[in-house]
Amino acid sequence: MKRKARIIKNKARCKACGVEIQSKHRHDIVYCKCVNGGIFVDGGKDYLRRGGDMDNFIDLCEYEEEK
């Protein structure tokens, strides 16, 4: 049986501007500081939603395996 992972931190870094962003709660969409869109994260610990220029996206999420 496949185990689920619980989201501890929903965060990412933009390669273009170097800014780390973190969504801390549901519907908390956070953008990097890039002028032309950049990247965003959303969902806090409830779900993972990412977008923007995915070529500039570095995933920094932290998970905990549920028992």
Residue 24 domain-assigned?
A: yes
User: Structural domain tally of the chain?
Assistant: 1
Closest among 65, 63, 67 to 8, alpha carbons compared: 63
Q: Which residues constitute the domain of residue 19?
A: 5-61
Q: Provide the residue type at 52 as one letter.
A: G
- Flag whether pLDDT at 1 surpasses 60: no
Residue 2's pLDDT band (cuts 50, 70, 90)? low
CA 24 to chain centre: 10
Per-residue pLDDT tens digits for 15-67: 999 999 999 999 999 999 998 769 999 999 999 999 999 999 999 999 998 77
Residue 56 domain-assigned?
A: yes
Contact 47, 29 (CB under 8 A): no
